[in-house]
Structure formats: C-alpha cells, structure tokens
Chains A and B, each alone.
Chain A
Amino acid sequence: MYLSVVRFENRYSLLTLLFLVAAILTGCQKKLELDPRGKAGVEIRFVPEMMGAPVELGQEYTLPSGERFTPQVFKFYVGSIGLSQSQNPGEDPDQPGEPNHPGSGPVTGEPYHLIDISRPAEQVIRTQIQEGEYLYLEFLLGVDSARNVSGVQSGALDPLKGMFWTWNSGYIFAKLEGTSPQSTQPGNKVEYHIGGFRHPYNAAKTIRLPLSYLQPLRVSAGQTITMEIRVSLENWFRGAYDLRIADNAVCMTPGELAWSISQNFGDLFNITNLTIEE
C-alpha cells in the first residue's frame, strides 16, 4: 500500500514521504496521560551509608555492637511512594503493615522500585504528586500482600530479579548479604532475606519521614522536590530488635525473626537534603 502511493506521482514523492513520516510518528506516539497542570515532580535519591560513610561493598566495617561485617549485597523494594498531609501515621487497621495513604499517593510510573546498592543509577526514583502542602514522605519498604498472592508480576517485581521465594510464594522485601568473623555459618556467611506477608509476621513496613519540622512543605505545580535519603545500614542491626550476627547470621524464611528484624527498618532512613526547584 505504501509503495503504490509513493509511485502514484513522482513529483509528489518528497511530499508523500513527509506525510508518511508524519503519519507514523503521530500514529504510534504514546499519549502522555500526565496532565502537567497541578503536578509537581518528586525525585528521591537513596544514599546507602555505613557508620557515616558511603557503603563500600566488600569492605569490612565494625558495627556499633562491636561485631564485624563485610556487606556484599544490599537490595530492597520501595513501593507506594506518596507525600502525606496527615499527622496520623497511615496504617490500614484491617491489614497491619499495609500503608494507608491519606495524602497524595503514588501518581506515575511503576508502583514498585528495586533499589540495588550495586547499581547506583537505579537508586533514584522519579515520580509526580499533586501540588499542595505536605508533612511527610511515606513509602512501603516491601511489597503489599495482594501482590504477593496474585500471580506473576512484571517489572521491578518480576520473580527473576531474585527477590522472590519460589517455594513459599512471596517477595523478599530487603536482602542484606555478606560475611562476618562472628558468623558460625559455613564460610562465615551472613544472609538476611527479610520478607513475609502473612499475619502476624507481615514484615512490610510503612516508612514515614518528616519533610519539615517547622511547617508543612508547600509544593507548587511545575516545581520539583529533590530529596536525598540516607540509608544508615548499621541500623539494620539495632533499634527495636538487637540483631547479633553471632546469634542469627541467617534469616531465609518469613516468620518471627524476619518480622523482628523488619522492626528496625524504620530507623534505616533519614531525609538529609531537600530542595525545591522551579
């Protein structure tokens, strides 16, 4: 069909070609559903640190407990990112551990992101929110229970990412691996695979970080909030649950231990730098 039109008249061939290009370009252009009016950009950059310095994989650190630890793998899921206007922590009473967003909720892009410390380019999340005044940044560290039981997911949640337990369906929400002389495991291995969506050991954790201590943060349409979130890896081992490598160097299943470790995750994150750009 194209050919016959092109042959239709030689002197029009250039015009025809132009039309063809125009037709194809417009025909297959995805419609951008974002209405730019009223929307502000959000850019979140995770900065993994250990004892106050950027984490170097393969380097040995001394933890606050005095135990030594060499991290090799650190990955975690971040989902349902939103800014919240409410003073009340958002947690769905019917589903403990599930976030409940009174604020703006996630707007664009993939609902889940896999942050992998060995891939710095993927430590940045960009999304959009409705303009307005906000008090908190909220996100789910983990994967909501519905997505754990509704078949095979794609994108960041594709089981081939190695963050899925195939024999006990469910996502590993956060994974920390390495070695430690305090580990009694073969090869001094340390492996924490934290997940589990079943009650009462739902290890998905809503993280809620204040944007400003003084007054609500005003974000106008067209602006972009850029945040750096420090991930203090040493806090994986301390806080609500005192995790000693000598006692528990391995956690590979959902359950009480995984849940207990997840109780430390609230203190992993801090907003260290927040700017609003026009």
Chain B
Amino acid sequence: MKSFWYILSLCMFIVLGQWGLGCNKKDDTNGDLQPINFPVPEGWPAPVYDFSANPLTKEGVALGKKLFFDGRLSRDGNFPCVSCHQPFAAFATYEHDLSHGIDDQFTTRNAPALFNLAWHSNFHLDGGITHLDLQPLAPITASNEMGETIENVLQKLNADPEYQRDFARVFGTPQITTANMTKALSQYMLMLISANSKYDRVMKGKASFDVNEEAGYAIFKEKKCNTCHVEPLFTNLEYEYTGLPLNPTFNDFGRMNITGRKEDSLKFKVPSLRNVALTFPYMHDGRFWNLEDVYDHYNQTIPLSPVERSLLTEFLKTLTDEKLMNDPELTE
C-alpha cells in the first residue's frame, strides 16, 4: 500500500514538474507585470511604434526611466540621457544652443525635445535613425556625446545585480542585451506624451483661450504656420528647408547627409511647436535665441506685424504642457 501511494505521488510530482518546470521562464516572471495600454489622445492619428514587439508595462517604463537617468550609459559616468534631455525643458537642453558631451565637447546640433515619439518613424534632425529602439545607440556611441561602447555599457549593467533583477522581471531574462536595454529605454520614452496643454483642454472644450490666445491661434492658421506644424502633433514629421544658410563650422547638410540627394540639402526635420516656450534656443543648431529672432528670419516669407508677433507668441505659450514636465512617474 505504501508503495502504491509512493508511486502515485511520484507520478503526480513528475506531472507537476513537467508543467511547472517548462523552459519558458518568461511566463513565470511576466505574471506580476502591470501592462499599460498606450493612451492615444482623442482625435489623434494612430501611433507608428509597434507595441506588439515591445509590450508596455509599468515595470518596463520604470526600468527605462532608470536607464535614462543612469550615468553609466556614458564613458565617464557623467552623461546620462537626461543630462541633455532635461524634464523641465520638455526633455531638450534648457538655454543651450548646443549641448555638452563628454571631455568638454559640444554637440553639433540643438538637442531635440522628447515627447510624442510613438508617432515618429525616423529620428534625429536628419531622420537618419529608422526606429526608436535604435535611437539610444547613437548618443551612447557618439564620441562627443556619451562616448561609450555598447559592449561596455552592457558589461556595466550586467555587473549590477539590481539591474539583473529588473531585467529578469520585465523581459524574463537577467541577461542585459542591446535589444532589451533599448526596448526598456523606448518604453520610457514612449510614455513622454505631451497632450495636456491649455491648447488641448481648449480643443476638448474643457477650457477657453483668452482673446489674445484666440487671436494668436487665428494668425497661426491664417499665416499657414500649420503647413509644416500640423495639429495635433504640431509637426508634419517631414524634412523642410527653412532658408537658413549653411553654418560653415559644422557643414551640416541635414537630410542630404542621409539620403545623398541634392534636393535634400539643408533640409531638417520639422520640430513640434508643443512646449516651444521651453525649448529655446531654436533651429537645428540653436542659432536663434528667442522667438523674435525666428520671426525676423521668417519675415521675408511670412511677414508679421509687432502686434501679430505678440499675439502668436501668446498662442504658442498655450502649447506648454505642465503635466509632461511635472509627472513624478516620468521626471524624478
């Protein structure tokens, strides 16, 4: 009788073992993850990022944020992503035409603000990067930015048991690789959504412009600023020539550097006007310190009277999104 029970329990055990000890560890660890349904603001186009290849979770976003703020992604430990993409400047570099990289070097372009990235299919002002997941590899390896190699970054992260635990939890393996590191960073960056400005509340009927803002919005449309700065993203995501002469210090031909086509010479990606009050200086190399300089530049093609300029500026200020700058889940 004893052996009957023994055999029975052994059989039970083996069955349980086969069921529980499967090779797919992913399922075991993913159980306690909190999935995030990417929140597409009402009336916006569909995002282009493929979330099925990188399902968002609360834990994944938190891990991405940790990486974004971690200096170990740079060679000397002093240049985390956040050093140039500062939350209080809508994730651009505040008050800097060019940003500071490793060994007292300058970057060659104005750091773009980071938000609404799920709607972008190419990155950098010349669109050279074809996927959000690939984007972090450029600043990490650039000799005048973070100055590190991918191999070294992975080595440093893999040596940290806390990161191993985090990655095991989010991706089902403690092994930190190029792919899962960049996916974690993407999860965080995707959640930088700017859709809660006064403008957005007005559009939803939950607030109203004052007379100046209203008049500024009318000028924005009447002067066809929205040809390139298309609502609701306030960019057409295209590459345009703004009439700026070549800066001989950098010899930066923009989109042509990538496509090799003459017609793309000096074309740069249209930046969003969202949070424009915080992202000065302006243009791809930060050569204009304030909006007045920008209006002066466009005066040839889009002349504005002093009053029109002031009103337009009042409207542009309604595009500032305090929530993006102050959400503790994303900024601290």
Partner-B contacts on A (CB < 8 A): 1, 5, 8-9, 12, 16, 19, 22-24, 26-28, 30, 148-154, 158-160, 164, 166-170, 198, 201, 254-256
Contacts and interface: CB of A to CB of B under 8 A. Distances in A.
Interface string B1-34: 0110010011001101110011100000000000
B248 interface: no
B177 interface: yes
Contacts of B133: 151-152
A149 B10 contact: no
A27 B22 contact: yes
A225 B257 CA distance: 45
13 contacts: A23-B14, A23-B17, A28-B21, A151-B50, A151-B133, A151-B134, A152-B179, A152-B183, A159-B134, A159-B150, A160-B151, A167-B129, A201-B260
B142 interface: yes
Contact of A8 (B9, B142, B182): B9
B178 A158 contact: yes
Contact of B21 (A16, A27, A30): A27
B10 to A, nearest CB: 6
A55 to B, nearest CB: 26
Q: From A150, A166, A255, name the one whose CB has the most chain B CB atoms within 10 angstroms.
A: A166
Contact of B130 (A1, A19, A30, A149): A149
Interface of B: 2-3, 6, 9-10, 13-14, 16-18, 21-23, 50, 53, 124, 128-134, 137-138, 140-142, 149-151, 154, 177-179, 182-183, 257-260
B9 A28 contact: no
A256 B259 CA distance: 11
Contacts of A19: 10, 13-14
A163 to B, nearest CB: 12
B179 A256 contact: no
Given A30-B23, A149-B131, A160-B154, A166 B179 contact: no
B128 A23 contact: no
Contact of A166 (B10, B18, B132, B141): B141
B128 to A, nearest CB: 4
A22 B10 CA distance: 12
Contacts of A149: 130-131
A142 B123 CA distance: 24
Nearest to A256: B260
Contacts of B23: 27-28, 30
Nearest to B21: A27
Q: Across the A-B interface, give the 3 residue pairs with the lowest CB-CB distance, nearest first.
A: A160-B150, A169-B130, A151-B133
Contacts of A26: 18
A146 to B, nearest CB: 11
Contacts of A1: 13, 16
Chain B facing A: main interface SS: helix
Contacts of A170: 130
Contact of A151 (B21, B128, B131, B154): B131
B185 to A, nearest CB: 10
Nearest to B13: A5
B109 to A, nearest CB: 11
A152 B10 contact: no
A166 B49 CA distance: 19
Nearest to B181: A152
Contact of B177 (A27, A28, A158, A198): A158
Contacts of B182: 151-152
A18 to B, nearest CB: 10
B14 A167 contact: no
Contacts of B124: 167
A23 B129 contact: no
Contacts of A9: 2, 6
Contacts of B260: 201, 254-256
A97 to B, nearest CB: 16
Contacts of B10: 5, 16, 19
A166 B6 contact: no
Contacts of A198: 259
Contacts of B22: 27-28
Nearest to B149: A160
B284 to A, nearest CB: 15
Given A5-B13, A16-B10, A19-B14, A151 B53 contact: yes
Nearest to A158: B178
A187 to B, nearest CB: 17
Contacts of B14: 19, 22-23
Nearest to B153: A160
A255 B256 CA distance: 11
Contact of B131 (A5, A27, A150, A160): A150
Contact of B128 (A30, A150, A167): A167
Contacts of B137: 152, 159, 164, 166
B120 to A, nearest CB: 13
B25 to A, nearest CB: 10
A168 B128 contact: yes
Contact of A159 (B9, B178, B257): B178
Contact of A152 (B9, B18, B151, B178): B178
A12 B128 contact: no
